Amino acid sequence: MAIQIGIGNLGGAMASNFYRQKDGPRYVLGHALELGFISVGIIAASVLIFSYISINKKRDSRMAAGEDSRYTAEELSDKGDKALTYRYMW
């Protein structure tokens, strides 16, 4: 939790350097950097979604092949999100 708060506080430190008084009133640098960060976030989210879809498809094919019968319910439970029966939701 401390890491999350620390990273959140970095936003204020970065914003004060992005939106410099000498760049006003248009603040091209600040707006460009913010758009860049938003773009990186959208790309990262898209990559994550496609990786979830890929992992789910691989697990579906392994389940269809009957690999789930190799494990007990307790073993699958112990694996958490690595379990063959676990599906990522997006």
Instruction: Render pLDDT for 27-55 as a digit per residue (tens, 0 to 9).
Output: 999 999 999 999 999 999 999 999 999 99
pLDDT of 64 > 90? The answer is yes
- pLDDT recorded at residue 12: 85
Q: Using 50, 70 and 90 to split pLDDT, how confident is the model at 72?
A: very high
- Does the pTM exceed 0.85? no
**One-letter identity of residue 78:** D
- pLDDT recorded at residue 29: 95
- pLDDT recorded at residue 90: 82
48-73 average pLDDT score = 96
